[in-house]
């Protein structure tokens, strides 16, 4: 018998009675054992019901990923497929969901395209990032639409402490790739700031294997980045600040389909930017309130060197968020909030509707006792186009002993169709469908968290997610409709181990993602993935390796085209030559594996996009003492 929402609420909500004060947002950004995104407030990661992975600035500098999508391949349950090289479009699959079913936040602001869905993470400079939190599983009851598969939140660089601390980095490597970054951080006991800028350039690789002759060239990429953060402690109880992130440049790509069947040489010019203004204050002993005002832009203009003119698809998002946290004592806390979001589209395509609002309120109660913990939340969204939507989540945790904990959770999710899904103007072949309904999901999960030994930590999850009203292309390819259902069964685990001075991190994921309409495996989802990281420090010298293994997958929904599995090995090393100078080296795809995760068709034949071959990067970082 199914458990109703009301019965779930009664089972999980104990009487309100009180808890400890958490650290501030700015303090938590430097800590690896805290989490902000799950409940939009600071909490210990061990207290959260969400399956999560956190990358701090130290992790980013140790791993030296080429891009944010490349870093995300180190998260169990997350798969990334590129359309070839740096700056290329990518596919993101968290627990079997697709790119548009994952919510991306930058400093609390929704990022991404309101026309096409998804966020252009490939354009974000990793040097401008302080921290990344990845949640696996739906959090729509807290964050609203699009958080069906999970949530990725990126925090921009923050101050390294008091005084002035300049830094500079230059790195060069394969395919005429150069990375140049400058920064200055500092402040005092009340005011902190960080200002950084960077330039990344690469000649790139040829992203397709067989296509028009005009595509048989390397596809370059250029990115200019700027990040600024400032925070000020007005009083002991009130703190405020702002952040700005701006990325702009040019990326070339291949179009194996051509321009209406003719050769093409396309490229995009883009601007990705976010800004946040926030005020955080403790009203009294139990009430803390935070207000965030945000703005984000995703501007992309597409050109073709062989044809005149261009097409434009720009998205603008304005948001206002208000979060209130009440610490009620004896382990109880209550979070109450309200959100406002406005999406606007400016496009060379004539969309029937180009502006919409979404208003929402939410509440969540949490309890942490000696052995039991509960979480119960509800969110109500009022969308200008789709009306009202209610989502719920609940969790029950039980601590078997000080070293072992079980968490049983339930979460609902939904995704609102994009402007392109709804209103793409019919061109004689294809058009949007204004009658679309939001996609919906229900997820069930059992987690086991264990400190197996003083140097051994294990986290494992069993989960199932059911989807309905999925938006897919119709059989005649003329439009899209809510005609599909799917389900994903999955298992994932992370093992962290220290042995003989080596720090090991092993992640595995096994999923069974299937369409409920025909029983086929969902395309571009590998059933099995493995990630292994090993690092050790020998005095001032550090060495490390990352190995990623991905099983075979299908390149289409009919399961007639199979993509073979692969394994990729990366090596890295660093040397702290002095207190001011450090060197680092990264060898990626050491075995020079030739593999593909996405397919295209040219002249009736199926081909895979190219992934990066063996590449090498050598960098030096200077942090002078002032």
Predicted pLDDT at 452: 93
Q: How many other C-beta atoms can be found within 10 angstroms of the C-beta atom of residue 16?
A: 14
Predicted pLDDT at 473: 86
Least confident range from 10-14, 49-53, 131-135, 598-602: namely 10-14
pLDDT (average), residues 160-185: 95
Please tell me the distance from the alpha carbon of residue 596 to that of residue 207, in angstroms, as a whole number: 11
Predicted pLDDT at 131: 96
- In angstroms, how far is CA 327 from the centroid of its own chain? 29
Residues of the chain with CATH 2.40.170.20: 156-622
Question: Which residues, other chains included, contact 445 with Cβ-Cβ below 8 Å and sequence gap of 6+?
Answer: 51, 137, 407, 408, 409, 410, 411, 461, 462, 463, 464
Predicted pLDDT at 363: 97
Name the percent of the chain lying above pLDDT 70. 96
pLDDT at residue 425 greater than cutoff 60: yes
Q: Cβ(580)–Cβ(590) under 8 Å?
A: no
- Whole-Å CA distances, 496 to 30, 307, 400, 462: 20, 53, 20, 19
Q: Which stretches does DSSP call E strand in 426-455? A: 439-453
Question: Which residues, other chains included, contact 503 with Cβ-Cβ below 8 Å and sequence gap of 6+?
Answer: 496, 497, 533, 534, 535, 536
What does the chain come to in residues? 626
Q: What is the pLDDT of residues 248-270, one digit of tens each?
A: 999 998 877 766 667 788 899 99
Predicted pLDDT at 295: 97
Least confident range from 215-224, 339-348, 361-370: namely 215-224
Q: Cβ(393)–Cβ(438) under 8 Å?
A: no
Predicted pLDDT at 385: 86
Residues of the chain with CATH 2.170.130.10: 5-155
pLDDT at residue 9 greater than cutoff 90: no
pLDDT at residue 273 greater than cutoff 50: yes
pLDDT at residue 165 greater than cutoff 80: yes
Please give the model's pTM, rounded to 2 decimal places. 0.94
pLDDT at residue 581 greater than cutoff 70: yes
Please tell me the distance from the alpha carbon of residue 221 to that of residue 219, in angstroms, as a whole number: 7
Q: What is the pLDDT of residues 595-623, one digit of tens each?
A: 877 877 777 777 778 888 999 999 999 99
How would residue 19 be classed by pLDDT, with cut points 50, 70 and 90? Answer: very low
DSSP lists the bridge partners of residue 300 as: 270, 313
pLDDT (average), residues 232-238: 94
Question: Which residues, other chains included, contact 42 with Cβ-Cβ below 8 Å and sequence gap of 6+?
Answer: 22, 23, 24, 25, 27, 28, 34, 35, 36
Nearest-5° angle of CA 356, CA 361, CA 367?
Answer: 145
β pairing state of 102-106 and 150-156: parallel
pLDDT (average), residues 84-99: 91
Look up residue 566 and give its two tokens.
């692969």
Stated as kind and residue range, the H or E segment containing 465 is: strand 456-473
- Whole-Å CA distances, 222 to 175, 227, 264, 611, 625: 13, 17, 20, 18, 31
pLDDT at residue 12 greater than cutoff 50: no
pLDDT at residue 3 greater than cutoff 50: no
SS3 149: coil
How would residue 16 be classed by pLDDT, with cut points 50, 70 and 90? Answer: very low
Please tell me the distance from the alpha carbon of residue 82 to that of residue 597, in angstroms, as a whole number: 7
Q: What is the pLDDT of residues 309-365, one digit of tens each?
A: 899 999 999 999 999 999 998 999 999 999 999 999 999 988 889 999 999 999 999
Cα–Cα nearest to 389, from 319, 337, 438, 443? 438
- In angstroms, how far is CA 208 from the centroid of its own chain? 26
SS3 537: strand
Nearest-5° angle of CA 30, CA 36, CA 40?
Answer: 150
Q: What is the mean pLDDT of the chain?
A: 91
Q: Please give the residue that has the higher pLDDT: either 232 or 608.
A: 232
Class of domain 156-622: mainly beta
Q: Cβ(377)–Cβ(413) under 8 Å?
A: no
Predicted pLDDT at 175: 94
Predicted pLDDT at 535: 97
Predicted pLDDT at 259: 65
pLDDT at residue 388 greater than cutoff 60: yes
Long-range Cβ pairs for the range 163-169 (8 Å, 24+): 163/187, 163/626, 164/626, 165/623, 165/626, 166/623, 166/624, 166/626, 167/621, 167/622, 167/623, 168/621, 168/622, 169/127, 169/619, 169/620, 169/621, 169/622
Look up residue 177 and give its two tokens.
């790739």
Please tell me the distance from the alpha carbon of residue 492 to that of residue 462, in angstroms, as a whole number: 7
Please tell me the distance from the alpha carbon of residue 459 to that of residue 449, in angstroms, as a whole number: 5
How would residue 82 be classed by pLDDT, with cut points 50, 70 and 90? Answer: confident
Look-up: residue for tokens 């119709």? Answer: 474
Please tell me the distance from the alpha carbon of residue 18 to that of residue 29, in angstroms, as a whole number: 25
Pick the CATH number of 5-155 from 3.90.1650.10, 3.40.50.300, 1.10.10.10, 2.170.130.10: 2.170.130.10
Q: What is the pLDDT of residues 486-539, one digit of tens each?
A: 999 999 999 999 988 999 999 999 999 999 988 999 999 999 999 999 999 999
β pairing state of 541-550 and 387-401: unpaired
């Amino acid at each position: 018998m199914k458990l109703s929402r009301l019965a779930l609420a009664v089972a999980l909500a104990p009487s309100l009675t009180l808890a400890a004060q958490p650290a501030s947002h700015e303090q938590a950004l430097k800590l690896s054992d805290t989490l902000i995104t799950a409940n939009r407030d600071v909490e210990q990661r061990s207290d959260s019901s969400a399956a999560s992975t956190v990358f701090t600035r130290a992790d980013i500098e140790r791993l030296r990923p080429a891009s944010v999508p490349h870093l995300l391949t180190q998260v169990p349950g997350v798969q990334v497929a590129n359309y070839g090289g740096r700056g290329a479009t990518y596919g993101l699959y968290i627990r079997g969901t697709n790119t548009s079913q994952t919510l991306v936040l930058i400093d609390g602001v929704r990022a991404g395209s309101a026309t096409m869905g998804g966020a252009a993470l490939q354009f974000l400079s990793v040097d401008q990032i302080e921290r990344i939190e990845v949640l696996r599983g739906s959090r729509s009851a807290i964050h609203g639409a699009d958080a069906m598969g999970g949530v990725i939140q990126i925090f921009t660089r923050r101050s390294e402490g008091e005084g002035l601390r300049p830094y500079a980095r230059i790195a060069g490597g394969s395919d005429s790739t150069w990375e140049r970054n400058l920064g200055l951080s500092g402040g005092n006991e009340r005011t902190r700031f960080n200002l950084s800028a960077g330039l990344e350039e690469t000649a790139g690789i040829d992203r397709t294997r067989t296509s028009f002759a005009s595509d048989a060239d390397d596809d370059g990429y250029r990115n200019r980045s700027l990040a600024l953060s400032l925070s000020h402690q007005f009083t002991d109880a009130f703190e405020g600040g702002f952040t700005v992130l701006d990325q702009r440049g040019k990326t070339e790509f291949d179009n194996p389909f051509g321009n209406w069947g003719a050769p093409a040489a396309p490229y995009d010019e883009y601007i990705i930017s976010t800004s946040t203004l926030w005020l955080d204050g403790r009203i009294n002993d139990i009430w803390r309130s935070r207000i965030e005002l945000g703005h984000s832009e995703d501007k992309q203009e597409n050109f073709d060197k062989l044809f005149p003119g261009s097409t434009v698809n720009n998205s603008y998002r304005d948001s206002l968020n208000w979060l209130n946290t009440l610490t009620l004592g004896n382990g109880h806390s209550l979070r109450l909030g309200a959100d406002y979001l406005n999406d606007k589209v400016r496009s060379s395509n004539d969309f029937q509707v180009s502006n919409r609002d979404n208003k929402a309120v939410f509440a969540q109660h949490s309890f942490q006792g000696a052995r039991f913990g509960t979480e119960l939340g509800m969110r109500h969204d009022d969308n200008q186009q789709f009306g009202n939507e209610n989502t719920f989540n609940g969790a029950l945790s039980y601590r078997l002993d000080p070293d072992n904990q079980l968490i049983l959770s339930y979460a609902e999710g939904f995704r609102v169709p994009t402007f392109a899904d709804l209103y793409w103007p019919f061109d004689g072949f294809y058009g949007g469908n204004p009658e679309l309904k939001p996609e919906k999901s229900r997820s069930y999960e059992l987690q086991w968290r264990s400190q197996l030994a003083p140097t051994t930590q294990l986290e494992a999850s069993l989960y199932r997610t059911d989807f309905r009203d999925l938006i897919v292309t119709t059989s005649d390819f003329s439009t899209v409709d809510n005609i599909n259902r799917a389900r994903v069964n999955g298992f994932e685990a992370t093992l962290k181990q220290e042995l003989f001075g080596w720090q090991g991190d092993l992640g595995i994921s096994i999923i069974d993602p299937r369409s409920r309409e025909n029983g086929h495996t969902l395309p571009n989802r590998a059933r099995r993935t493995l990630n292994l990281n090993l690092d050790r420090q020998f005095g001032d010298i550090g060495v490390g390796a990352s190995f990623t293994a991905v099983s075979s997958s299908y390149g289409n929904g009919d399961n007639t085209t199979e993509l073979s599995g692969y394994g990729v090995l990366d090596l890295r090393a660093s040397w702290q030559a002095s207190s001011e100078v450090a060197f680092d080296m990264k060898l990626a795809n050491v075995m020079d594996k030739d593999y593909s995760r996405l397919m295209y068709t040219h002249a009736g034949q199926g081909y895979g996009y190219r992934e990066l071959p063996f590449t090498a990067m050598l960098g030096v970082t200077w942090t002078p003492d002032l």
